[in-house]
Chains A and B, each alone.
Chain A
Amino acid sequence: MMAKVRMRRWILAIGAACFGITNARADRERPGHVDATADDLRQHAIDVVDYTLTASLDAATHAVHGSGTIRWRNTSARPVRELWLHLYLNAFKDERSDFLRERVGGRGSAAPEGYGQIDVRSLALRAPDGGSDDLLPTMEVKRAGSDDETDARVALPRDVRPDESITLEMTFDDKLPIVVERTGYRGSFHMVGQWFPKVARLEPDGTWAHFPFHHLSEFYADFGTYDVTLDVPEAFTIGATGPVVETHVAQGRRVERHVQGDVHDFAWTAWDQWQTRRDAVDGVAVTVLYPPGFGAVAERDLDAVRFALPDDSARYGRYPYATLTVVHPPQEAAEAGGMEYPTLITGDGPWLTPRGVLEPEIVVVHELGHQWFYGLVATNEASWPFLDEGVNQFAEGDTMARWRGAGSAIDLLGVRVSDSAVQAVGGNLAARDEPVAKAADTFSTGANYGRLVYARTASVLETLRRVYGDDAIARALGRYARRFRFEHPGPDQFIAVFDEVLGPGVAATLRAALFDKGWIDFAVERVRSERATHGSEYESSVLVRRRGTLVFPVDLELVFADGRRRRESWDGTGDWKLFESMDPVALAGAVVDPDERIVIDASIENNHASTADGGGRARRTLERLTYLFELALQTVSP
């Protein structure tokens, strides 16, 4: 009897396994689906650092008084005798900070309107006997040769062994700057990010991944639980990371306690002008905070979440948190816009943004994508910014294209500009200047950082998507996002997934494009078509060149004199290929990459040639421009 039961169980198990495999295969064949089910997802991060903080906002002086504990566990293989604390807010302390000295362009490059800083008032290590060791005297805020105060070393009185936990008790005061680089105040508006002493991440080999707050770099931290009690004036509305678990109003103060596990940062906002819009999207409680008069644009923010949240969850693994807060700051505080924190993102765009200009939607889709590529896949943003910003930029363009089609950036007056086209052109502006894959603070300018980290990475991945198919790229990125959920992967792990899914050739191409300034330029150099010496057919030939260091397969479209078209293909290897054919009709011209798959092509203008001189005609352009100038003349002339 027992044997029969066991046998039946085995049969059921094998059947279930087969069923599962069959289903998995079916899923792989489904467009946009990825080869992992929700059950494969890791449910929680390894808890390394827990913050229990209380923050009180003085709205008149724009100060935050903080206190609380940090419980930190050594998850490395080595004992440690020091801690590194990021004091990011000191980036805005004075002109001697690395951040303000490195004004290489981009956000935060204007002269600050008001400075801000964080002062650690007390820092103690809780001792096992109930006492504490004062760590403040041992804290080194400045390094030799630098006046930057964003990266503090704290010497510990004893070793912290692997897997041992310690608890720090601290008090600190923040003086918020006038809003700059995502944090600060403007009037009674407060966006409070990077506001507390934050433990740097300890890598598994026992080295600290710590760094000053550079102008172009962002953040990197371990996962943990944030239990934060916020205390603001009663008239203020709060938005913060994680759900509210307690709230009360007393003595003119509003107190909210937010608790969120499996995250690596905590940000909040408080303003007495916030308007609120709420919805449940894909099982997540979504709140949009927006200024008075921004109702229409807030609804657009919410629409973007309605599309992108389930879409991203399907592609990259289910969004694991219960809440999502979208903060749409007023334009006078636009420096706070376009930023990602765990379960809290900030949007951007004026209240009167035309419907056809998709800036609000793009910003929300982008920052929401960061919940995966930064939040859940917690890469080192300082060392490898392309892993969060670049990969997420691709995810943004990809999502926007599925949602809004060809006009995913601008869809106005018949003009449709796609998000991915904007990225492709931006990336090509700097493709051969510097590598994409390098640390944020090593880029020459803010413009190149944007063009390479964001745009070039996105357009390289978009090229892979167009060449190898949406399913393949969705599978690769989906596998990467799922495998490294609640992890801290580096570039090697990222490229290894492409190796698994698309093969070593594609992985090599991806590596060359990211690390070695890889580029490509297809060109049709010559088209000939002459009647054969014998017979009535035409001997035709097309010479196509591939310049650059990257290899992609490509199509060639032959256009014949009678209007017929025929496609040929080339695997892209070698420097050139001569296409020869005998046809009953003369060849009129040829176009390489006619479907614009290689969006990183260094020049699209040389992708075509004709047998006859076209005479430089641009009839459509001439017609359109003539009409536009006629209308313009009628407007400005008498």
Chain B
Amino acid sequence: MIEGILTIDHADEAAGVPRALGYLVPRQNAKIRARLHPTAIAGVWAWQTAFALLAAYPSAALVGAAYGNDPRGDAPLGASGALALLDFLRTNVHGVGAAAAGTALVTIAAVLAGLLPLAALMTTMAHATHGGHRIGASRAIGGAVGSGRALAGLLVSVGGAEALAVGAAVVLGGVAESSAHAWLGEAHAQMLAVAIGAVALVPACAIGVVHDLARAAVVRLQLGTLAAWIAGYRSFRAAPIDLAWSWGWRALASLAPVGVVALLADRLSWRGGWALLALALLHQAVVLIRVALRSSWLAKALRTVDLS
């Protein structure tokens, strides 16, 4: 079954026509909705949580070695004033460094491996069985594996493009500051630099949007890296305002729960027991909401490339 799914026909790449994926058929455009795939969304959340746990574990183990036998648990590290926390960092400076290195490795692995659940989610949203039913996890993963090379190519190329965009923003800001310094003064020149830098970051956001559209093209249209970039760019050019709004409101909305829960977390403090459980549930709800909003945007991207 998996072999069948991996058989991808690239004959009509440029036509922008949704392609069948072995046993799977393209889902009707209007039915590409994230809300129809809660299990897939939960799967992405679980994947991210698993990697985050892995990334957090070295540091948590270090704290556990120091405070595991404290009858208060690790609560002193969260006490107001942070004396115990700073003292812990002082006495464990090498351990913290080692834990940070471990975490960095896990993070890099997570970024690369994150392509798989992302592609599986998009495959799930974009395709159905011949009977019109939702595809199962194994088929979604199979489809994701098939898209892996193209998605990796997009990831590498977008990394370079984003680096160029951010670098240009920094350079433009720096040039603006140094040239305006003499007549505007230090603070106002820096404000100008920040403003120019912020404006220059708009292309970076646009590249991110096109990248997501290109991913959608890979999954929906079975395109290779270059063709997907072209398809993504054409889609963006066709409706830039609509796409910017669709991406922008979801990006902003995904910040809101972080802020709200941060305020609640401040009230719950570093208490243990039920308070800790409640906080953990709140935090995971935030993560889940953000995954859902991201999925919603990706569904929009899938619908967009199809129409283009």
Binding site for B on A (CB under 8 A): 273, 291-294, 330-332, 351-352, 405-407, 413-418, 420-422, 424-425, 428-429, 559, 588-591, 596, 599, 601, 603-605, 608-610, 613-623, 625-634, 636-638
Contacts and interface: CB of A to CB of B under 8 A. Distances in A.
Contact of B56 (A416, A608, A613, A629): A629
Contacts of A417: 81-82, 86
Q: Interface on chain A toward B: helix, strand, loop, or mixed SS? A: mixed
Contacts of A559: 71-72
8 contacts: A292-B188, A405-B80, A417-B82, A418-B82, A589-B71, A619-B74, A620-B73, A637-B111
With most chain A CB atoms within 10 A of its CB, the pick from B63, B86, B91 is: B86
B23 interface: no
A623 B283 CA distance: 9
B82 A633 contact: no
A559 B114 CA distance: 45
Contacts of A630: 48-49, 52, 283, 287
B82 A620 contact: no
B294 interface: yes
B61 A616 contact: yes
Contact of A293 (B84, B155, B186): B186
Contacts of B103: 629
Nearest to A608: B70
B185 interface: yes
A163 B184 CA distance: 55
With most chain B CB atoms within 10 A of its CB, the pick from A330, A413, A421, A636 is: A421
Contact of A625 (B56, B84, B111, B270): B56
Contact of A637 (B71, B83, B110, B151): B110
Contact of B185 (A293, A418, A615): A293
Contacts of B287: 627, 630-631, 634
Contact of B258 (A421, A615, A631): A631
Q: Interface on chain B toward A: helix, strand, loop, or mixed SS? A: helix
Nearest to A615: B68
Interface stretch (B11-19, B32-40, B168-176, B272-280): B272-280
Interface string B216-258: 0000000000000000000000000000000000000000001
Contact of B86 (A422, A610, A613): A422
Contacts of B65: 616
A406 B71 contact: no
Contacts of B29: none
Nearest to A636: B111
B56 A428 contact: no
Given A634-B294, A638-B111, A332 B186 contact: yes
A476 B90 CA distance: 31
B52 A610 contact: no
B185 A621 contact: no
A344 to B, nearest CB: 21
Interface string B44-66: 00001101110111011101111
Contacts of B83: 418, 420-421, 424-425, 596, 599, 604
A428 B87 contact: yes
Contact of B81 (A416, A614, A628, A636): A416
A588 B73 CA distance: 12
A465 B70 CA distance: 26
Contact of A613 (B69, B74, B151, B270): B69
B187 interface: yes
A613 to B, nearest CB: 7
Contacts of A591: 70-72
Nearest to A558: B71
Contacts of B196: none
Interface residues of B, number: 72
B59 A625 contact: yes
A629 B169 CA distance: 27
Contacts of A615: 64, 68
B265 interface: yes
Contacts of B52: 625-627, 629-630, 632-633
A618 B84 contact: no
A421 B64 CA distance: 22
Contact of A623 (B81, B188, B191, B280): B280
B118 to A, nearest CB: 5
With most chain A CB atoms within 10 A of its CB, the pick from B53, B79, B82 is: B82
Interface in B78-122: 78-84, 86-91, 103, 107, 110-111, 114-115, 118
Interface string B274-293: 00100110011011001100
B74 A421 contact: no
B190 interface: yes
A365 B266 CA distance: 28
B288 to A, nearest CB: 10
A330 B181 CA distance: 12
With most chain A CB atoms within 10 A of its CB, the pick from B57, B66, B103, B276 is: B66
Given A629-B56, A633-B52, A636-B107, A421 B77 contact: no
B73 A619 contact: yes
Given A351-B190, A608-B71, A416 B110 contact: no
A351 B91 contact: no
A618 B67 contact: yes
Given A352-B190, A559-B71, A425 B107 contact: no
Nearest to B113: A637
Contacts of B69: 589, 608-610, 613-614
A618 B74 contact: yes
B195 interface: no
Contacts of A418: 80-83
B202 interface: no
Contacts of B68: 613-618
Nearest to B45: A630
A179 B67 CA distance: 47
Contacts of A589: 69-71
A425 B284 CA distance: 34
Contacts of A420: 81, 83
B75 interface: yes
A406 B291 CA distance: 36
B76 interface: yes
Contacts of A601: 87
